[in-house]
Each structure stands twice: as structure tokens, then as C-alpha cells.
Amino acid sequence: MTDHTTTNPSTWPGRTAIVTGAAAGIGAAAARDLATRGVAVTVATLKPGEGGEEVVERITAAGGRARLAFGDVSDAAVVEALVAEATEDFGPPDILVHAAGGFTTLAPTAELAVEDWDRIVAVNLRSAFLLVHAVLPAMIERRWGRIVTVASEAGRMPTRVGVSAYAAAKAGVIGLTKHVAREVAAHGVTVNATAPSTTLSDRIRSLYPDGGAAAGAQHPMGRLAAPEEQAAAIAFLCSPEASYVNGACLDVTGGSVNI
């Protein structure tokens, strides 16, 4: 009987990955984490000057392999080009970490403009479908793949007023993840999600006058998560040790989500 719990070192170093939203925060931390494990990483971000350049420089300075890609991953043509170029440079992606997303509009549903709803859903949910759709065929053909979508605690339970579009999109990401996981389970591909709570990225620090200290004090753990803590959970789901974890949504919330 085959021992599926044994880690095969050849299935971790030498792998290739695309990480979206990788200029900062959780995406950047995930890209750096994977690179330390021998994974060649395409660092995908919306546009130059957001921090993607520094992420690549940090990875390569440490001896890792990384390349930079720009574009809006809610655009099908951009995603097609992203995957094609990553494949040309590093080979077909073995791992997809979709951390791009977020929202820029905070408004009660009755006051939310339709175009803002459409954009938030596109950035968070449409992008997830496009990327999963683009990487799956080659993963299925090679009978190995790891896909991790980064959802949110807002997709698991109500968090605050004014984020209904974001919450709906992230709940959709979780639903997409679970359904695709069942579709491809027999092909050696696992598809999982993480649901982070508020994480202390530079963007979050800038949103709070006190840098997030008060929000952290109200958290069950007395602090907000660090991006590296979120990245560690993502790396586990990408690893050989997680070979039998499929269709899961891992709450990385320090106890703020307990449903």
C-alpha cells in the first residue's frame, strides 16, 4: 500500500508558481515564502510602482527565482497572456495563489453604485475564475497542481457595514473553490481557500490613524495578523504534506471566525 503521507522532496523544490496581488501584503509574503522553498515565482501585480519590483529583487537577492508581470487579472486577455508568459519563462505553473482583490469603496448597500458593485465583484470573483480556468488544463494534463484562492473572513460571516459587495464576491470565491476542487480531485489537483482576517499590511496601516493598534486590541488574540502568518497557511496548502486537503476553506483569523 502506498504511503501518501511521506513527503517526496522532488515535489517541492523546482515547482513553478503564479502569485497574484503579489506587490504587497499577503500576496507578497506568499511569493517570498514559496521562493524560499525552491519555487520559481511569477510575481503578478496590477501596475509598476506598487512594490512588485521590490518583491522580485528581494527574492532574487536571496538566491531565488522570480519574474514580474503586470496587468488587471479581471481581464481575460491579461490572464491568458500572464499564464502564457509565465509558462514560457518558467514552465507551466504548478501552483496558483490568487491573492489579488480588495475594495476601494466602503458604502452601505442602499448607497452602493452599481458600477462599484460590478468592479468589486470583477476584481475579486471574476479574476479567480479566469485564473483557475487558465491554469487548470495544464495541471490536469500533468496530474499535479495546487490552487489556493485567498478569500476573506467577510465571505464567511458578517464583519462590518459597507462591504456587502466584497463579502458577496469572497463568498463566491469560496463556493468556486469548493466546486472546482470536487471537479478536479481525481486529476491530482487540489483547490483550497484561505479566509484571512484583517492583516497588518502597509495598506491596512494607512487606513487607521493609529496604524491598526485599536483594531488589533479588539481582536481575540489582541493583535492583527502579520502577512507572513497568512503566507504560512497558504504555503501549507501548496505543499506535499497537504496532498489530501482539498475543497477546504482554512480560516486564518486568530479566532475571530468560529462558525
Q: Enumerate the active-site residues.
A: 166
- Alpha-helix residue ranges (DSSP H) falling in the chain: 25-36, 52-61, 76-90, 114-121, 127-142, 164-184, 202-207, 213-217, 227-238
Q: How many Å apart are CA 1 and CA 218, to the nearest integer?
A: 50
The DSSP output letter for 224 is P
**Closest alpha carbon to 89 in 81, 77, 97:** 81
The DSSP output letter for 223 is S
Q: Which three cell numbers stand for residue 127?
A: 479574476
> Is the four-CA dihedral 84, 90, 94, 97 of positive or negative sign?
negative
Is-contact 54 6, C-beta < 8 A?
no
The DSSP output letter for 153 is G
